[in-house]
């Protein structure tokens, strides 16, 4: 087990801090890929997990997971990430196919492989923003696999505390064209002011017709769930203390902020999509997923 004291949110790569959680999500996607009732397929995910020293011993297939689906970590938590992957895949594809959007921005892209595995329409550009170390690790693994993106891919190595909007526009992003934005598994770690600044920047850069999906936690007191099986199993088995990584500041009401600026917003629990797809986590006692919300927003096109 890793020393949790060594996990720093400032670690640039994937071997510690928030970067290590990207490997956790990749392991969950790998396990989901090999389930007989899989909701999402990511053939690259296992290679990230096996390619990092910190995670090389983790399971990447259902039969390798200790206790299987009864495990809070490799069962319920992994299914959560599999469901989230499917729901956000559908959101992206709906935005580019039905709404005709041709540029996507993935903020805190981590080990996301959607540029490689989704069936993008012709002319789509996918901008991936994350720290240099994370993108370098991803590039190394995907290059070794001779992976080819299915859309024009523009990786942008920058910390989101820096001028990522300037880096994005310098890389060819067009703020006058509609954009599909994805902020998956990021806002948990940001202080109140940083989330507000990020949402305001997305709003400023979004032309009419743009869409946005993001994930938040709405618990008033995260520490009330300190002994939730999801947190305790992740801490004991992997040495990742998620509650030490999450911001514990009160969360801003970003959905209301967007609504006030002309976006049409809908807020869902993950359990809504479990019921829709017929598999995934459902509510339970002392539930670390109880406060999670998936938010979808559309900026109305000009008349």
pLDDT tens for residues 36-59? 999 999 999 999 999 999 999 999
pLDDT at 106: 98
| Superfamily per CATH, domain 70-233+245-299 | Vaccinia Virus protein VP39 (3.40.50.150)
> Quick one: CA torsion of 93, 98, 102, 107, rounded to 10 degrees?
-40
The C-alpha atoms of residue 258 and residue 297 are separated, in whole angstroms, by 8
* pLDDT at residue 5 is higher than 80: no
pLDDT band, residue 152 (cuts 50/70/90): very high
Per-residue pLDDT of 60-117, as tens digits, reads 999 999 999 999 999 999 999 999 999 999 999 999 999 999 999 999 999 999 999 9
**Residues 125 and 104: beta-carbon distance below 8 Å:** yes
* pLDDT at residue 219 is higher than 50: yes
* pLDDT at residue 244 is higher than 80: yes
Instruction: Kindly list the domain boundaries of the chain, sorted by start residue.
Output: 70-233+245-299
* pLDDT at residue 10 is higher than 60: no
pLDDT at 1: 24
Which tokens sit at 256? 């209301």
* pLDDT at residue 303 is higher than 70: no
pLDDT band, residue 12 (cuts 50/70/90): confident
pLDDT at 302: 60
The C-alpha atoms of residue 83 and residue 143 are separated, in whole angstroms, by 27
* pLDDT at residue 241 is higher than 50: yes
The C-alpha atoms of residue 25 and residue 31 are separated, in whole angstroms, by 10
* pLDDT at residue 8 is higher than 50: no
* pLDDT at residue 289 is higher than 70: yes
pLDDT at 220: 85
DSSP states along 28-78: HHHHHHTSTT-S---TTHHHHHHHSTTTTTS--SGGGSTTGGG-IIIIIIH
Which tokens sit at 197? 């600044």
| Average pLDDT over the chain, rounded to an integer | 93
Helix (H/G/I), strand (E/B), else coil: 14: coil
**Residues 32 and 65: beta-carbon distance below 8 Å:** no
């Amino acid at each position: 087990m890793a020393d949790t004291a060594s996990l720093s949110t400032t670690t640039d790569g994937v071997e510690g801090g928030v970067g290590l959680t990207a490997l956790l999500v990749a392991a969950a996607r790998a396990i989901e890929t090999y389930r007989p009732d899989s909701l999402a397929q990511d053939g690259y995910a296992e290679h990230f997990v096996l390619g990092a020293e910190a995670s090389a011993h983790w399971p990447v297939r259902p039969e390798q997971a200790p206790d299987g689906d009864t495990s809070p970590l490799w069962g319920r938590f992994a299914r959560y990430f599999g469901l989230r992957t499917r729901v956000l895949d559908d959101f992206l594809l709906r935005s580019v196919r039905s709404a005709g959007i041709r540029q996507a921005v993935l903020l805190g892209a981590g080990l996301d492989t959607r540029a490689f595995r989704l069936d993008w329409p012709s002319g789509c550009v996918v901008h991936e923003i994350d720290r240099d170390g994370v993108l370098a690790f991803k590039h190394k693994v995907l290059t070794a696999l001779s992976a080819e993106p299915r859309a024009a891919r523009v990786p942008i190595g920058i910390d989101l505390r820096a001028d990522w909007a300037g880096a994005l526009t310098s890389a060819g992003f067009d703020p006058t064209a509609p954009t599909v934005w994805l902020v998956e598994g990021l806002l948990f770690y940001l202080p109140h002011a940083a989330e507000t600044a990020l949402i305001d920047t997305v709003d400023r850069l979004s032309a009419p017709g743009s869409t946005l999906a993001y994930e938040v936690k709405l618990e008033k007191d995260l520490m009330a769930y300190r002994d939730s099986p999801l947190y305790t199993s992740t801490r004991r088995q992997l040495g990742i203390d998620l509650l030490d990584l999450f911001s514990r500041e009160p969360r801003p009401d970003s959905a209301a902020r967007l609504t006030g600026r002309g976006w049409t917003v809908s807020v869902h629990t993950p359990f809504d999509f479990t019921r829709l797809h017929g598999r995934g986590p459902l509510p339970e006692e002392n539930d670390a997923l109880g406060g999670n919300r998936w938010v979808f927003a559309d900026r109305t096109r000009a008349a």
